[in-house]
Structure 1
Amino acid sequence: MPEHITPVLDSTAISHFIDQGFVRIDGAFDPDIAAEGRAILWRKVGLSPDDPAGWTQPVIRLGMQMEAPFVAAANTPRLHAAYDALVGEGRWLAPRAMGSFPLRFPAESDPGDDGWHVDMSFGTDNPDFLQWRINVMSRDRALLMLFLFSDVGERDAPTRIRAGSHKAIARQLLPYGEAGMTLGELAADGFAATAECPELLATGAAGTVYLCHPFVVHAAQPHRGAVPRFMAQPPLLPTGPFDPALPPSPVQIAIRQACGLDFG
């Protein structure tokens, strides 16, 4: 890490990540970059922030975006330092795009996509998303990330996070080894093992980023506020498969501790 960059995550924050499954970084990217990104997204959906009459759908989804503001948001020095701290130096790929974007609009109707889930990381070429897979080594995903491109309050459809849920998921995945489990298998009981986890909301000002353990159980919710919520949920990709010869990162330490594995 360059000497002029102050580490954004101290030992307390890293311990919180290991135990709770996420850290919140305020001011992770510039609010002006967030505003530039919102302007691009408004144009792409053909709507206006000044014309609420056009906001007729509770959610509009956009895929990966490659414009400069999105790449810049994901690659600030503060975030690179945080990626190093949680995943390990040299073990992650600098994002060259960002997505997906679930844009949520004030609505009384149910968005229809607010169930609890874990983001799958491989087998995603299968057209049936319930067959997408995840394994205990978190193949093909180093972190789940939530980038707030608008101010998000408690009524603005913030992502719901089950704190500490990553530990239950790690234990559930352990017996399945490299093959892992499908989303359909994991969700068969409604993620009952995490039902008692405290529920937190991913709120914050534009420019806030939540860096989450790949196994964290989370969910959307209806928008009951007044201003549309613009958020991206990209993965941080690893440079390669899990390497047991390397010192364990906080992501891996959380898995090992949850599963009662030693660190030898």
Structure 2
Amino acid sequence: MSEFLNPNEIEQFVQNGFIRIDDAFSKEISNAVLDILWNDLPCDRFNPSTWIEPVIRLGIYAGEPFVNSVNTPKLHSAFNQLIGQDKWIPCKSVGTFPVRFPSSEQPNDIGKHVDASFPGNEPNNFFEWRVNVKSKGRALLMLVLYSNVSQNDAPTAIYEGSHIDVAKLLSKEGNKGFSFMELAGKLAELPKRKDVYATGEAGTVYLCHPFLVHSAQPHKGLTPKFMAQPPLLLRGELSISNSDGDHSPVERAIRLGID
């Protein structure tokens, strides 16, 4: 398989914590996904007066158009370049959907956070899931756009370079790391980073370092936003020690924070 990302894009990923891939999957796939999701929503696709909630959560989705959207040749090539060949597990679902609607009401899930990657003492309690310096279980965070997302359409805010700060925080905590809520409570202490908004047309995918800080936004536009945030899972374990020679871009970024 030919390499999709060029050296500059890979370096951008290491330093900034994300890379945007346009046309990662086709409009036919995004349209098929939207048809399924609208059918599952308790409101009328063509009647905005029925869109009364700022966020409605749907999931988990593992049907053909969903799985196909995150398993294209472009994405597989990028996964190999960022994590290493045979070091990741192809996605078998895209998880849940927080569908965001235009609303004057403030959603209740817009705090800065880092997605956790392995269960804690209470596996059914997501807030107790954990993240450690080796990013146990998770290779990447993906922001997968199934609708066109402009600056007004609740684009996810991603904080450029914040993954390096988070690596530094986690480096002091060993294999146990922090729970989702413990880490969220420490993010305000980190250096201020430039916020970048994950906009793009349907079919755009942002591949993000697993430690990248991000947050949801209120929807000020006209059209509901459909985005999934599936993890790309690790097949084994990241190698971040000095004794190892050739590090992947994901590993190199972590080492920037702990060196």
What is the TM-score normalised by the length of structure 2?
Answer: 0.94
Q: Residue 130 of structure 2: which of 133, 142, 154 is its match?
A: 133
Q: Residue 66 of structure 1: which of 62, 68, 74 is its match?
A: 62
AA partner of residue 74 (structure 2):
R
Residues 117 and 191 in structure 1, CA contact (< 8 A), matched pair in contact too: no
Shift of 1:248: 1.5
Q: Percent identity?
A: 45
Between the aligned partners of 1:235 and 1:21, the Cα distance in structure 2 is 15
Between the aligned partners of 1:188 and 1:76, the Cα distance in structure 2 is 36
Q: Residue 191 of structure 1: which of 181, 188, 192 is its match?
A: 188
1:147 is aligned to 2:144:
yes
CA 100–200 in structure 1, closer or farther in 2 if over 3 Å, else same:
same
Q: Residue 167 of structure 2: which of 143, 166, 170 is its match?
A: 170
Question: Which residue of structure 2 lines up, in the alignment, with residue 204 of structure 1?
Answer: 200
Give the 3-state SS of the residue equivalent to 1:23 in structure 2.
strand
Residues 160 and 218 in structure 1, CA contact (< 8 A), matched pair in contact too: yes
Residue pairs, 1:82-97, within 5 angstroms? 82-97=78-93
Residues 147 and 207 in structure 1, CA contact (< 8 A), matched pair in contact too: yes
Residues 10 and 82 in structure 2, CA contact (< 8 A), matched pair in contact too: yes
Question: Which residue of structure 2 lines up, in the alignment, with residue 253 of structure 1?
Answer: 252
CA RMSD in angstroms comes to 1.5
Residues 90 and 239 in structure 1, CA contact (< 8 A), matched pair in contact too: yes
Shift of 1:11: 0.3
Shift of 1:100: 2.0
Comparing 92-101 and 72-81, the one that deviates more: 92-101
Shift of 1:66: 1.1
AA partner of residue 253 (structure 1):
R
Count, aligned residues: 255
Shift of 1:62: 1.6
Between the aligned partners of 2:31 and 2:43, the Cα distance in structure 1 is 15
Give the 3-state SS of the residue equivalent to 2:238 in structure 1.
coil
AA partner of residue 145 (structure 2):
L
AA partner of residue 247 (structure 2):
P
CA 60–246 in structure 1, closer or farther in 2 if over 3 Å, else same:
farther
AA partner of residue 32 (structure 1):
E
Shift of 1:134: 0.3
Give the 3-state SS of the residue equivalent to 2:66 in structure 1.
helix
Question: Which residue of structure 1 lines up, in the alignment, with residue 215 of structure 2?
Answer: 219
1:161 is aligned to 2:158:
yes
Between the aligned partners of 2:43 and 2:104, the Cα distance in structure 1 is 19
Shift of 1:174: 0.3
Deviation per CA, 1:91-134, whole angstroms, max 9, x where unpaired? 01111111221100000001110000000001165344332210
